[in-house]
Structure 1
């Protein structure tokens, strides 16, 4: 069993293949977190609880022992008003204005399979998997507030999911000011925090900081999970590396505002929290109403960061992303954005499509500028009808022409936005988010539709289905190009404005659920000014996300490195763009651009009609190679070999689950004169097996302990890739 309960001692133990998570009910009914880490035999760990002097700290009234202060004890779901002065999981404002909720254990329930959440994306269990659910119910008998804590234990995946549900069973209304999905306390620990900061065109930048006697708080108040931070983060022992040491990974299945904290208390206890919300979040609950938090996921590794990453990659691919395309082949595409921007016609796109057939491309994506009067980014968002004059024909006829060339067709949309200069805004200005009596803040000359309004969702659903039903559309790129700032909706009254941020996301999820269910054969890609909404909530509905608007291959090395800690390679949109780069003017070889873009879904984003015949022939080779390796890239175990933040190179490897084949890539970001020999050590291979590398045989142990001797690399950002395949020759190779 994955869940073990000792009712007599009040112990709950959650076991995965390599980890143990343990809780225990305290003497006054508080639920304490006792342990999370390396798997061991569950036993009574109450000896770990603090029992020293706790002068000048608050403690429960019923106790005559000052060491019972909750400020010094590891709590499973800490709350406001109980004497815990650290970051709490739940802050409730009662009708009398007090902020207190004192939760004590009430009961528990064991369930086979995985719990599901209402109106929110969450991980799911397959029929043949060993997954169990524990529900623990806590209760405040004064305010009659009940909290259900849910734990989903994916035993073979080495992950645990958590969520909570708060119900007001009292006679008075309450207001939730903070409701986190995850809190984790450690009795001791000198940890580092690894988080992934960034900005537009430089997302997921790796940063490692010591957790000291202060609170590290990060998150997003942009209305999206954001390009500046990401809900995925790690805490690790000081000596943890890619391949050794203890570490814990956390992430949130949510696409809006979030908050995460990491702190060390005065007695060296460490605490992390993760959940939705920002400083303006609130949610009012009248009698009988309930509120559910988004799902958090956590995983422990005693073998360094790469094992954490592989755990997340596997569970996302197998137990989160529902698209039929998640674990199947996907088309190599050409997107016209950097080729033409808004300046295109149907004829120009057909020329690009014709050139695309010469380099093995499977699909053309028509980006922004195909609808209404959309000739720049100042107008027409919200007016979702085809500009047939610009295309020179109806959309159905245009798509037929693309299909006749042997290509599939995809379309760009940005449904959450509206332009002031649009028919929609003139008809429904009240549908745009805006503070009363004020001019709105602008972002990319556009406003944001109030996705909490059912009528907005209905309008968008009707518009988009009308377009999708017109032609053979097999791919949709869903964009979102500004942060959300003007948080006000006329529909939310009586102190409910703080609910808008979450209601927006619920409306968005509702629209995504309806569209992806109606069009299961359409491959949806997420984009938000690049990677500003790269999160687990989006991957539930869409199998891939545009990683960054920065298409420079060398900048992408760091961006994709950071992404790889939590998100599978199959989810990363990556394209071969023009050189010099539109992002920064850098000149890079076609080979390096292609090998870097092959760490993801692979496509092209440049004017193919301007490529020479030699360039097209070279591109065709890269396209063919990617298609041959795509299954391996999408399903294999990913290893980070060289860190681009610490070295003047970047290298990564993908190894099939059965260790029969591997793809190893190296990019030099600085080339020096008279360089020493460089041996690149592989990972993840079968030590005793023979492997073929460019016609030569090597034992797996040799490749992993000594490595492949790289050729002398010269020129501008040179790169090399090796396909490694297990030899058919069995037996011991003689010297």
Structure 2
């Protein structure tokens, strides 16, 4: 809802209020964004009171002698006129002037959401979203700034963007245009960012905000695994379940910049948008520039409440198309099974094993085209390698579909190897500086997506690939960052526009291909999570979270993503042990449990596995399919569990609170450990649930020589006898089975079976080795009788 009372603006969602007003000077004073408040038409209690300007500050003008912009909370700010904080906009006129002063001119309100030209953005029906556009005009130059506010009432989200329009006859030079600016009355907050590297994405960082500036940014050309564009501003004492928390994210896939700055008066300014470093854009007469959309949400229910707001918004208003709310198939990916070393016979053996255990989609990864036997050659040559695949993609996909599986394929369209027919034919399409030694990444060059001919080539070549067989899934990869940027397509004064123009070119390609192939499930990837952002999710319903498939590493990676992204967009696979990235050994059950809290896939050579392991995988997949909708689309909860030190506790709950799945993940085993209690979240307090687990089996090898305390014959550790015994005999794990109310599960917790303590073991003891985990299920119980037994709502 948007309400305007004279010079005052009120934006409301179901649980939040956003207020600002127009000052007598024409500037916009920010008044409040946060928990919903009841307010009359009189906003004066929220307005700043000034009788005299503080010393050593700048008076705005002789007609407003008590207005000093440095000490005001504003909706936007610019260089000059006394505000020396992080600006919203920076530009230079053709005469070299950098001072601007954007003042209120007009506004419009519509019950709709228009697309941004060339940029992806959120969407909603006329009933779901209302738009306010504030038009500001600069006093000194001939340009107009439009501030866009889109209010999504039901999901507690407000999005912002801005558009600069050159209404004059001379060129303007734009050096910064943020997407949002939030000014807070005090700085008692912390900033939470998610940083990392390749195979180490989304590591959570809490930083108390103090005097100075905290920055979260990317200059790698993409949204980056170094610093994801999602971040949080929260009360210093905020927890998972309580305290004020703001979440902000950009619908953009390129260089970004977010800053939290404390000024001389202890106010906090937060800005977020495109990275201004080296981004100068020239706007000729009549040109305009739109900043990417910034998504903002607030919750007084802590990090968890904020996350669920953001999750619902992404599911309803970012992801789109056939796959928006459709459950995703369980897949097998060929990469860690065979890397580049495969032929059709190997792939078919893998596919047949996959079909036997219930896998639904076979994905052919890198190595199927050109002379691609390693990563030094053939990117750009999207012709099938007939030595590996004599029947081509059409022949292989036909054989896969005849098995009863869908077929998918890997591509990396934005790249080219120097050793490729494409480079030899069009060296000018590669991003390199003439006369300079080029700096490569993974032996490859970027293609110049600022060039329309390159964009058209990608659309045509990928259309040919996607039409070459029964392809229902595409993994779109991008395995290097930007460096030594230069386009032979751009004049010298526009070289600073390269990075943004590249992103716009990519969006044009993706828009064309996803519209041409609406039924294909696209999965984004950039060396894992190097381009995991809302911009890509507007075209691709899911993204590969990390090239690291180690389940222990994935705990922090996937929990990091969960703060800003729903599990329905997070690709996660079960791989072999020792893991290929860490050489760590992790129990098979844990590998499955971690991956099940994303979009489940498998990435290992099934042909090398014995029947017992394949049967366990089959059981996993059967169970996952039963609970798949909840795993992928349920409300996600991170649980702070004091009885699980150093571990992770997650839970997903369906929307009607009838079913839920919880998980506990342990890092290292603890001797004589404390009692483990499972605390649920998100259940109906008044409902009774059947709480249970599926008992696991323990290999006798796990006990080593200790097995001799129970064995009638001596079994030497590591012996052939031990191996044979392990083949035919396994020890039963514990079984949890209770009927509990939702309130008991959440506020008291369910005490689980005693943990193994080295003094005895049987089926009543919970054995948690290093990296062990369990899944616990909740089914709503219906009926009941005097002895306390119930039926479950299956």
Using structure 2 for the length normalisation, give the TM-score. 0.90
Equivalence for 1:73: 72
- Aligned residue for 2:110, secondary structure, equals strand
Equivalence for 2:111: 112
Equivalence for 2:739: 697
1:142 is displaced (CA, Å) by 2.2
Equivalence for 1:22: 19
Question: How many angstroms apart in 1 are the aligned matches of 2:138 and 2:493?
Answer: 24
Gap change, CA 1:696 and 1:382, over 3 Å in 2: same
Question: How many angstroms apart in 2 are the aligned matches of 1:470 and 1:678?
Answer: 54
1:122 is displaced (CA, Å) by 0.7
Question: Which of 483, 493, 497 is residue 491 of structure 2 equivalent to?
Answer: 493
Question: Which of 780, 783, 788 is residue 726 of structure 1 equivalent to?
Answer: 780
Structure 1 range deviating more: 599-608 or 322-331: 322-331
Gap change, CA 1:657 and 1:730, over 3 Å in 2: farther
1:634 is displaced (CA, Å) by 2.2
Question: How many angstroms apart in 2 are the aligned matches of 1:278 and 1:377?
Answer: 34
Check if 1:715 corresponds to 2:769. Answer: yes
Structure 1 range deviating more: 18-27 or 713-722: 713-722
1:726 is displaced (CA, Å) by 0.9
Question: Which of 256, 264, 277 is residue 266 of structure 1 equivalent to?
Answer: 264
Equivalence for 2:728: none
Check if 1:61 corresponds to 2:61. Answer: yes
Question: How many angstroms apart in 2 are the aligned matches of 1:46 and 1:293?
Answer: 32
1:261 is displaced (CA, Å) by 0.3
1:609 is displaced (CA, Å) by 0.4
| Contact 2:177/2:276, CA 8 A, preserved across alignment | no
Equivalence for 1:521: 519
| Contact 1:642/1:652, CA 8 A, preserved across alignment | no
* 1:80-114 Cα distance to aligned partner (Å, 9 max, x none): 12221110110001111121221000000010122
Moved over 6 A (4+): 730-735
Question: How many angstroms apart in 1 are the aligned matches of 2:515 and 2:85?
Answer: 43
| Contact 1:326/1:570, CA 8 A, preserved across alignment | no
Question: How many angstroms apart in 2 are the aligned matches of 1:62 and 1:386?
Answer: 73
Equivalence for 2:477: 479
Question: How many angstroms apart in 2 are the aligned matches of 1:83 and 1:34?
Answer: 20
1:732 is displaced (CA, Å) by 10
* 1:543-600 Cα distance to aligned partner (Å, 9 max, x none): 1100000000001000000000010101000000001100101001110000000011
| Contact 2:222/2:254, CA 8 A, preserved across alignment | yes
| Contact 1:530/1:546, CA 8 A, preserved across alignment | yes
* 1:595-626 Cα distance to aligned partner (Å, 9 max, x none): 00001110100000011100000000111111
Question: Which of 399, 409, 412 is residue 410 of structure 2 equivalent to?
Answer: 412
Check if 1:633 corresponds to 2:631. Answer: yes
Check if 1:706 corresponds to 2:748. Answer: yes
Equivalence for 2:169: 171
Consecutive unaligned residues in structure 2, runs of 5 or more: 693-736, 756-766, 790-794
1:487 is displaced (CA, Å) by 1.4
Equivalence for 1:137: 135
Question: Which of 385, 401, 426 is residue 403 of structure 1 equivalent to?
Answer: 401
Equivalence for 1:215: 213
Question: How many angstroms apart in 1 are the aligned matches of 2:200 and 2:399?
Answer: 37
- Aligned residue for 1:121, secondary structure, equals coil
1:93-492 equivalence runs, <5 A:
93-126=92-125, 129-492=127-490
Question: How many angstroms apart in 1 are the aligned matches of 2:383 and 2:64?
Answer: 72
Question: How many angstroms apart in 1 are the aligned matches of 2:465 and 2:674?
Answer: 59
| Contact 1:14/1:22, CA 8 A, preserved across alignment | yes
1:449-598 equivalence runs, <5 A:
449-598=447-596
Structure 1 range deviating more: 382-391 or 529-538: 382-391
1:165 is displaced (CA, Å) by 0.8
Gap change, CA 1:19 and 1:731, over 3 Å in 2: farther
Question: How many angstroms apart in 2 are the aligned matches of 1:675 and 1:609?
Answer: 39
1:64 is displaced (CA, Å) by 5.6
Question: How many angstroms apart in 1 are the aligned matches of 2:38 and 2:63?
Answer: 31
- Aligned residue for 1:389, secondary structure, equals coil
| Contact 1:248/1:299, CA 8 A, preserved across alignment | yes
| Contact 1:202/1:548, CA 8 A, preserved across alignment | yes
Equivalence for 1:4: 3
1:62 is displaced (CA, Å) by 2.7
| Contact 2:25/2:64, CA 8 A, preserved across alignment | no
1:627 is displaced (CA, Å) by 1.0
1:714 is displaced (CA, Å) by 2.5
Aligned-pair RMSD on alpha carbons? 1.6
Equivalence for 2:720: none
1:670 is displaced (CA, Å) by 1.4
| Contact 1:185/1:269, CA 8 A, preserved across alignment | yes
